[in-house]
Structure 1
Amino acid sequence: MKQYTWTVTEEQAHERLDRFLTIMESAWSRTQVQRWIKDDHVKVNNENVKSNYKVTAGDVITLAIPEAEELQVEAEDIPLDVVYEDADVIVINKPRGMVVHPAPGHYSGTLVNALMHHCKDLSGINGVIRPGIVHRIDKDTSGLIMVAKNDHAHESLVEQLKAKTTRRIYKAIVHGIIPHQHGTVDAPIGRDKKDRQSMTVTEENSRDAVTHFTVLETYDKFTYVQCELETGRTHQIRVHMKYIGYPLAGDPKYGPKKRTLDIAGQALHAAVLGFDHPKTGKEMLFEAPLPEDMEKLLSHLRSK
């Protein structure tokens, strides 16, 4: 059983307990944290409280993560594009349309199902549903994702994400013609009050979010851009590009309602992934070519 202890500072006071814990450890999902709280694995000043408890300065919060249960998610023989693999990490080039981990409505056909068939050794820090998963990319985003094969690797990779030392570069096609070559979007992201399934730029209950972008090519009504994440918030690139007036082409949630380009989902690809190897400390850098559907879109746009 893994134990964590925090003492709440003045700056952290008044946050909900479940949100406080996800801020302390970005790899944990709100749902997982709420489950731990409900199961009495979290205590505030040695007492059980609910997820909506507002922490106060001086509170001592303890979390005892139980040993990972035997996985109930079934291994499935699904082909994987393995970019790199050793005893500690595996890097996958995920296809568009594949969900990363099981969730209600998606208990099979996910990257986790495929990984469980491919390799038996995955970290158990994220429990039975998300073994090995350090970070996520959306179902309809293609590209590189790193997976931890043991708890030491998992903790190292999560720490690198928190310290902002990883490299995550995406390629995207957006609506509109961006008039300048480079830019930075520094705008906090939180849940959209009007739609809890969506994120938005907001000052309320938000987390800092920074995206750097570079224009690669411009076309009639569209721009091909490279976006580098400084932070890794849910739907960050999709939300930030919409916020500055250049939503992603094909994005069913944040883009125009009318379909404009022939692609199943947002035109977004995780092209570059870099991190320090959790055991050797060696700098690792990987690149995945654009998927065929985005290449076709670019060829079409260049020919107009």
Structure 2
Amino acid sequence: MPLSQIEILHQDPAFLVINKPTLLLSVPGRADDNKDCLITRLQENGYPEALIVHRLDWETSGIILLARDPDSHRELSRQFHDRETEKAYTALCWGQPEQDSGRIELPLRYDPPTKPRHVVDHEQGRHALTFWRVLERCGNHCRVELTPITGRSHQLRVHMLSIGHPLLGDRLYAHDEALAAHERLCLHASMLAFSHPVTGERLRFECPAPF
């Protein structure tokens, strides 16, 4: 499994900051044909100590953080759990929101009948909060910055769908026009800030979207 297509943005004795390409799993899937993934490629190509801290969806590209020792893994995982990290995503969404920014606070849950989709459910869903901001308006779509406060699966995709602006190229949630508007899911983890697991120094990494 080659390390090609994986850009290492930063190396530290305690962690790695990677630009994950689209169409690559963060961790192995259950099926035999889903074993190729980011963590396996790193472990088999010079970083056997790499440990996953958080995940990005298969189709989502951008910044992902990996630890290089158990103590760093424990501390970085705690920061994610306690919401001490800061994250921002760049996305292209269908249509033009009336406002230039807003918040979406809708509870989400996994929907087994339509797996792997998630849905808004006010009775059984888990709390989810997203802030959004228009960066650029471009005809039938716009570029937005999405800031998730919680970290639910498919949160950004379902939240933007819920306000009538699905992400371009989203094979799970976009309508036909939005799906055909781009060849890939237009969702990219463009910024991550966290505290160094050893020194405590506040760090911020940015990676521009490829779309």
The alignment's TM-score, normalised by the length of structure 1, stands at 0.65
For CA contacts below 8 A with separation 6 or more, give which structure has more relative contact order.
2
Equivalent position to 2:26, from 93, 96, 100: 100
1:113 aligns with 2:18: no
> How many residues are aligned here?
206
In 2, Cα distance between equivalents of 1:277 and 1:96 = 27
1:302 paired residue number? none
3-state SS of paired residue (2:153) = coil
2:10 paired residue number? 84
Equivalent position amino acid for 1:219 in 2? C
1:263 aligns with 2:188: no
Cα distance per residue 1:131-170 (max 9 Å; x no partner) = x111111111110000111221122112111221111100
1:228 aligns with 2:128: no
In 1, Cα distance between equivalents of 2:81 and 2:107 = 16
In 2, Cα distance between equivalents of 1:204 and 1:279 = 41
1:248 paired residue number? 167
Shift in Å at residue 219 of structure 1? 2.1
In 1, Cα distance between equivalents of 2:34 and 2:115 = 19
3-state SS of paired residue (1:280) = coil
Shift in Å at residue 210 of structure 1? 0.7
Shift in Å at residue 193 of structure 1? 4.9
In 2, Cα distance between equivalents of 1:275 and 1:251 = 29
1:276 aligns with 2:195: yes
3-state SS of paired residue (2:116) = strand
In 1, Cα distance between equivalents of 2:120 and 2:56 = 19
Instruction: Give yes or no for contact 1:77–1:118 (8 Å, CA) kept in 2.
Output: no
Deviation beyond 4 Å, 4+ runs, structure 1: none
Shift in Å at residue 203 of structure 1? 2.6
What are the equivalent positions in structure 2 for 1:124-273 lying under 5 Å apart? 132-258=51-177, 259-264=179-184, 266-273=185-192
Instruction: Give yes or no for contact 1:190–1:204 (8 Å, CA) kept in 2.
Output: no
Equivalent position amino acid for 1:91 in 2? V
In 2, Cα distance between equivalents of 1:93 and 1:204 = 37
Equivalent position amino acid for 2:188 in 1? H
Shift in Å at residue 261 of structure 1? 1.5
In 2, Cα distance between equivalents of 1:262 and 1:244 = 20
In 1, Cα distance between equivalents of 2:81 and 2:35 = 29
Structure with higher strand content: 2
Instruction: Give yes or no for contact 1:87–1:149 (8 Å, CA) kept in 2.
Output: yes
3-state SS of paired residue (2:39) = helix
In 2, Cα distance between equivalents of 1:263 and 1:196 = 22
State, as a whole percentage, how many aligned pairs show the same letter.
Answer: 33
Shift in Å at residue 183 of structure 1? 0.4
Instruction: Give yes or no for contact 2:107–2:121 (8 Å, CA) kept in 1.
Output: yes
What are the equivalent positions in structure 2 for 1:19-38 lying under 5 Å apart? none
List gaps (5 residues or longer) in structure 1: 1-75, 123-131, 295-304
List gaps (5 residues or longer) in structure 2: none
Equivalent position amino acid for 2:91 in 1? A
The alignment's TM-score, normalised by the length of structure 2, stands at 0.92
Instruction: Give yes or no for contact 1:217–1:223 (8 Å, CA) kept in 2.
Output: yes
In 2, Cα distance between equivalents of 1:195 and 1:173 = 24
Instruction: Give yes or no for contact 2:90–2:145 (8 Å, CA) kept in 1.
Output: yes
